[in-house]
Structure 1
Amino acid sequence: MTENHCKDCYAHGAVINKLDNATIKLDEAKYERLLLRDEMRGMVSMKLFFWIMGISATIFILIGGGLWKTNEGISQLDKSQGIMQEQLQQVQKTLSKLNEHK
């Protein structure tokens, strides 16, 4: 009976050892999955960060370019207004000279 008992204990020990090994492997797999999940979250976070930065830079460039064009347009209008004022002054001078001669 002791021999059978020892064989049973040995068999139980082997089963327990296999269960422990399986548990360890399962824990390692869970840990690797958690690491991979955290790594994927980090990659997604970085992708989101770069997308947001790209969109922000694009918007900044578009707004800056629009303002530059607007400023360019305003300066062009100012030049045109200056030319018109000069021409108006010349016409007024000519009219005043004509009125003086009358």
Structure 2
Amino acid sequence: MSSGENGQSKSAPTFPDQAMYDTVQRLFEENGSLLHRIRAHQNAGSSGDLERSSSLIQTLNKNILQIVGTYEAISEQYIAFMQQHVPKATIPAGS
């Protein structure tokens, strides 16, 4: 066990929050279900089914935006993590 300057033990740095990946995975699974339901409604072709598809598409779009936002946060965490834990000489220029 190694000790830091203040006498406390150092733990290995971790990246990133697993909950973020779990959120993305859950949204991908939900989107798969939404796409299946949208296809079924479109194949049925009635106006009620098409209206339900519209609502499902709105939910799908909201989920996609949330996935993009989560990936953006993961990327920002990764950059901060690398800047803090990787010596600058090992980070390629332009990164």
Instruction: Kindly indicate which of the two structures has a greater share of residues assigned to helix.
Output: 1
Q: TM-score, normalised by structure 2?
A: 0.42
Larger Rg: 1
Q: TM-score, normalised by structure 1?
A: 0.39
Q: Which has the higher contact order (CA 8 A, sep 6+)?
A: 2
